Amino acid sequence: VEELMAAMDAELHRSAKGDDFERQPVADKEATATDEAGARGCEDDEPFRPVDLDLNLVKNLLSSHSSQFGQAGPASNLVGSMGLELPSYEAD
């Protein structure tokens, strides 16, 4: 099972599916380890950076809300059900 998971992770890492997600910054310790791995000639030069779920959620929610132009829609309904109110859309 671990071999299968590793193969799946490697395949997903090579794909471009996750390129549009915001990721957490790399810690200094991880960057140093990556530099050392690169010096040894490892295949994976990029350190693992987990997706920042909170940032992506807020970014996509605000993008959806702005595309609604202040009208009712999924984003405003979700935000309203949480008891929040986003600023209304104002045309430039």
**The two structure tokens encoding residue 79:** 């935000």
The arithmetic mean of pLDDT across residues 2-22, rounded, is 81
Question: What's the pLDDT tens digit per position in 25-77?
Answer: 887 665 555 555 444 444 556 777 888 899 989 999 988 988 888 788 898 89
Question: What's the pLDDT tens digit per position in 16-32?
Answer: 776 778 888 887 665 55
Residues whose CB falls within 8 Å of the CB of residue 21, separated by 6 or more in sequence, listed in order? 51, 52, 56
Q: What is the pLDDT of residue 9?
A: 81
Residues whose CB falls within 8 Å of the CB of residue 55, separated by 6 or more in sequence, listed in order? 22
pTM summary value: 0.55
